[in-house]
Structures are given as structure tokens and as C-alpha cells.
Chains A and B, each alone.
Chain A
């Protein structure tokens, strides 16, 4: 991944990819493997696989503050710290400095992001679930948002391709709401998780709980440059084994191997230039973050993969006589229909069984409870539309169980050296409907250090989401009680929660059938500027309740191969 010197002078490419995260990595790989000379732009610093993961081998005692964030650092990462887990010593360098990179909140929005090669593909949650036919049909059926221009069959082969390449472990169940995939052997459930699966199925009419499907390598298939998950569970630091999928470990090296990629870090893309003559985009303007100079790069094809919010903001900033309100914004929908998943609602319990049992290794994920609401007439819920799933796990707690207690002395010390009791928790991931009024806008009065406008968020969860939360909590409690556990506690931290916190923000440049009501067509092309593709979370027409990264990858691979085919066709004639 070197910025090739001889190419540095080159200002014209077949394709430009803006962004190196989970979508940008796939765009780069597919375009390069199709033979297109591709410039890959990243606004942040270079991060090379293994070499640039500074904390990957540290033990607790290697961190000066034992992995706690300092007060000074927290001042600089106030918004990024809202998650409660991302800005500790082990991973704070993967999240932006909020003072250097400000945004505005008409309503609170937790915009969690990192500016570096690989983006959030280094820190993602790695859960990988396909959207189903009922997700692609949902908007059309209940009338919220616009109809997706694609159906499950359009994307299914691309899910296959992505899963096989990145490696996803889990178990196929033949469920309509959670399609089977190309999965490798699942990570085993521990004894408490296995009990939960059996007892909930038995007591709750066959309700399904399964192994988490995560993008970790299990089994014996070879993935170039990567090996099996080693069960360190230190994924957020970057994995020296490439045990889980990231752009840095996988797609960017693949793009690099073709010899067709020029990667350019420290390149802040701020405008896609529209050419009146050809009615196409002619290229991308960037600011070099180190030299401060502005540079124009020409390309035949442009892929926006800068993240849902950043890609949308780049389009909004790209104004011309033809598009005074942002590139491709004939519909007025650009910047609207922002969604995120809702979480911080679920239940936990203690388990008084299996006190003589333990495990070896740190499993990076536990269980998944697929959606069971509003699948059909029988499962219809009277209060809300769409559905939700849960992620969860069981484990034996360590010494941290005593942090907020009042115990002390010899007995405390001896007790904390032993494995603590089993606890189990499940937490919901709920679908958010697409609302036109949930939007971002650009604030030109509060420019950032580059003189670029800053993003302003005006997004909120509404009645359907709130009513869904009640059910998420009630059902979480019901399942843990059905399993016979003790001290079952349901929670709904609505007061501490805002959109963005799931780090699944999406929408802003939705796909659709009608250029009057959507920004992108069925191949992710801007309706009126067909050489501009947006394939990250911005393109999402509805949010479903599944973790979205797998879908971003499949949609990107599909669009990139379509773009490459068109490119070759045009170059022949």
C-alpha cells in the first residue's frame, strides 16, 4: 500500500474511490481486479496491516493507565467517548479528535468515526447478517420511505461472494427472515448459552437462538495473508493474525496485488466536479491534509465510500449550476432519511448453574436471536411495524464484579482470584423507519480547519421506535426468565441513548426506483450523473435490523462489477 511515486504526478485515473473503510476497500479490490487504474483516497493517515496496530500485543500492565482514558484525552474526544468503550487506551487512536473534527447537533447525534486507512473496518462489531426478502419489501408494504429498487435475488450472489472472501462463521437455519449464507463452522456455544438456546425453544414455542455470525476465520479455507481467529478478543486494536476481516488485512492488500491501485492518504475529498458538457462527473477535488494544497484528480468513474454521513456531505458540497443543492439532488432527498439502529435496551441475569464449568479462550461473540416479530400474520405485533434482533453472550465475570461493592480484606482478595459467577445478557438491535425529516445539513458559518462546512444533525427516533423498545425489553426479560435464571433485570437506557450510538448510521442518499424521490438507482448510480456511485451506508433505503456492513460490502461489490463492465463496454466502442 505505498503511494507510488511515479503515479503521484498522474492526475487522471479510470476510477476514484473515496474512502478506505469496509465499502471503499471492496470498491478498490473489485475495480482493481477488473483492471481499472484506481486512485483510492483516504482523508486520514496510512495504517498498514500489523505494522500500524500499536496496541495489538499489549497486556493490561503495558498501558500506563491500565486502559483507562485520561481526563485530558477525554476532553479531546468528548463525543467519541459517548460509547463508553471506544476511547480507552487500547483503541482511542482509531477515533477522531472531536476538537479537530467538529460537527453540530440540532439534536444529539453520536457520530463515531476514525480518519485513517481502513476506517471503521478495524473497529467494527463483525456481526454479519444478510437482509432478507421481507426487508427489501418492507417499505413498499407498509408505505414508509420508498421501495428498494432491488430484491433479495439481486444481491444474494454478491452476499455469497463476499462471505466466501471475508470468512463468516455461523450456522445456517433456513429462516425466511435471516437467509442462509456461505458460512464456516460456528464458534461453539458455552454451556450457559447452549442452555438458553434449548430452554427458550422449548418454553417459547420454538423461538430460535443461534450462534453469532461473525466475520472471523474458522475452518481450513485459505485466506491470503490471514489465519484463523486465535480467540484473543482484542479485535478493536487491530488483529495481527487477520483473524477477522478488515480492509487493511484483506481487500486493500488484494487491490494492491493487482498493481492497479494508487492509495493516497491525507487526502480530504471535498467536491465531485460536474461537467456540463458530458453530463457526468469529471473528477474529485481534494485538500492535501499535510501540504494544504488543493488538487484535482480526473476519473471516468467515482465511487463514494466515505461513510453514510461523509459521502452524503461530499455530494451536498458538490454544487454546480446544474445541481445548486448538491450533486444528484434533483429529488430534494439528499441528506434526508438518516437512520440508525436503536440499542441500549435488553436484559441480563445471573446463572446459578454450571459453577464447576469454565471455558478456555476468549470468544469474540456469543449468540444471536433473529427477528421474530412481524414476520407474518401470526407474529404481527399490534403496537409497531418491522422488527428487532438481539446479540448476547454468557461468561463468568472476573474481579471487576467487585468494583462497585463495599467488600474488602483477605476474603475479598481470595474470592476475586477465583472465577466469578456466570452472567448472561442480551441486548436488542431495533429497526428504525426512514423519515424524511431526519436529516443532516451543512453549516457554512462554522467551517472546520480546512474551511469546509461542518455537518449538522437533526435526527430522532420516533413513536414506532419507542414502542418497539418496550417489546424488546419485555421479550428479553421473558426469555431469560423462561430459561430459569436469577435476578433477571430488564433495562431501557433511553435517556442515555441517541441516534448514532449503534454506529450503524445510514441513509442520506437512498436508492430508489424514481429519480423524483431518491438519489441513487438500482446499481447505486446517482440517477442523473451515472458515473458517480454511492455504495456505503448512505445508499440504504431502509435500515432493517441486521448489522449492515455485510450488505454494504455486497452492494459495493455488485456496483463495482457493474461499473467495470460498463467501463469496458464504453472503452471498446
Chain B
């Protein structure tokens, strides 16, 4: 146990000041559901820790066709209050109530795979991340936020303050496949968002979790879908294409081989859900 100081700043300004003062020596935590187990196990040994829970970054607001979610919004609030059904579904599939009551949307972007079940949904919805630092604010598309396993474009003096996304038009689907019905790490998580007009896919977003160093988009599979009639053939081709775009790993839950096999199965299932909804509407 190395933690010597725990800071609970009352505002974003105060938090940024502390960050500027200590830089990388200050560990930021939001809900702490990822960070605290590592500290308790002695894997992570920070000396200074700052909690974000009092910084007021937990606003969730809708304006001009956008939804803005404060970084420290809890997963429970996302589940109960998000105007976007896909995000409610994603939150419901993330951990259990005890963890959701603490864990935050911002923290989910930093959770090592196979975690990141909310981030996958955000990725399929073209979310953008607001990063705030001593030099002010900048906005980065979520698709460009991660650079590798547990690495991202955030600077040492920055915090994630909000995640913003356009209210989705079109149809969405979300499937988390685990070894059990609930409370389970993912073998693969699939989030899809398609805009279909006149029988053709106008815009396709397909994101995968638990099969790469961070949640992934599948641009080639999206290209297969775009312009298609979402026929069974197109779905199969997109699913196979997605399998080639992932970069899975082996853990105690599933092997790399198995995860790669499950990508096309669950991509197809998610896309079929949308195709069936389209056919019904």
C-alpha cells in the first residue's frame, strides 16, 4: 500500500490544477472499479490519487441532436436515464449493479479488454471524446482515441470530461456474448448501427469489443454493408470480413481461436436483428 494522499477536488478547475502539479505521478480514478483492485493487489502503486466524483462531470444532456454524457456519469445512470436505447442495453450488459453504481462511462474507455462494453456501443455511435487540459479543450473522435493496449492520445495534463454523440438515426443492435447469462467478461461484444433508406444501407457502423487491444471499428465490413440491401449474402460477407479485422487474444474465458470464430457468428446475429427490424417496419 503506497497511496499517501487522496485528493477529492470540488471542481474541474481544481482537478486540472492538481493534475498540472503532479503530472503522471497522480493517478486519476472515477468509480475506481478498475483502478482500486489493481491498487489493492499491489499491481499498481500510485503515491497520489485523485478522485473525480465531486468534480461535477456527471451531467447528461441532450441538445441540438446530440447527447453529451459527462465522464463521471455512472453506468447505473446511463442504464436508467440515457436517451439512447443502445447505451442502456450496453450498460445493462456491463458488470453487475454493485459495479455499475460505482463505475463510470469515462472509466469504461480505460478498461482493458475484454472490458469496455459501453465503449463498444459508443464507438458504433460515432462518439467523440472531450479532453480538457491546462491548455483548454479538444475533441477527438473515439475511433482515434486509442493507440494500443491501454494507451491513448490523452496527454498527462488532460482529463476526459465528456463524451458526445449524435442521437442515432436508423437502427442499432448490441450483443455481448459471454460464457454465462450475466456478470461475465465478453468472448466478443458487437455493436452495430445502420441507416437504411430505400432498402439500401446508407451508413454502416460496426464495432467489436474483447477481440483486440481496445474496442475496434471494422471499416472493411462497414464498406461491404454500405450500399447493400442487407441481404443474407451481404451479412455473411460483412461478418467474414469483420473476422479478418479483429485481433483477438487468449485469456481464462476464451482462446484467440474461439474469439475469432465467434466474431462472424455474432456480427451476423447482430446484423440479422437489424435486418429483421427493417423488414418488419
User: Are A and B co-members of a single complex?
Assistant: no
Interface positions of A (Cβ within 8 A of B): none
Interface positions of B (Cβ within 8 A of A): none
